[in-house]
Amino acid sequence: QLPAVAGTITLKNGTRIAIASLHLPHTKEAAPFREVLCGAIMEQLTSQNCDGIILTGDFNMRGFEDKTTEKLCGGKWKDAWKEATNTKTAKETKFTWNSRVNMYHGPENFQWTCRLDRCYVKSEKGTLKHFDLIGNQ
């Protein structure tokens, strides 16, 4: 029982894409468990033998977990934010939790920023061209 929903899409040209959204445990101490869950979800997606894979959601990851996650299940996972942003847009789209801009839990509470959410792509055939946080628009 993995904390994700997934499906496959077949485009008119026959290209198959596996796509999934997940929600992983939130505490810093849960990092090893997140790695196990993420690896299992990536394994399931990879087993679909698709031309590309998109895995997105509330990873609740800290920065120190990035490299390990990108190497799971054969590696070659691309973080959409790292791949498809430039220095101009990177700062504007970095924080998926920014309680200084969006008062998620009330203006009277501690305000902080973090990039807890991720969008990973794995494909030999495709290229990431754009990344944005539409929830902040």
Share of the chain above pLDDT 90, in %: 61
**What average pLDDT score do residues 129-134 get?**
81
Asked whether residue 136 carries a pLDDT value surpassing 70, the answer given is no
Rg over alpha carbons for the chain, rounded to the nearest Å, is 16
Asked whether residue 12 carries a pLDDT value surpassing 70, the answer given is yes
At 96, the pLDDT band (50, 70, 90 cuts) reads confident
Asked whether residue 114 carries a pLDDT value surpassing 70, the answer given is yes
Would you tell me how many other CB atoms lie within 10 Å of the CB of residue 53? Answer: 24
Largest separation between any pair of C-alpha atoms in the chain: 52
- Extract the tokens encoding 89: 């847009």
DSSP per-residue string spanning 84-117:
H--HHHHHHHS-SEETTTS-TT-TTSPP-EE---
In this predicted structure, which of 14-23, 39-48, 108-117 has the lowest mean pLDDT?
108-117
pLDDT digits (tens, 9 = 90+) for 34-91: 999 999 999 999 999 999 999 999 999 999 999 999 999 999 999 998 888 876 667 7
At 103, the pLDDT band (50, 70, 90 cuts) reads low
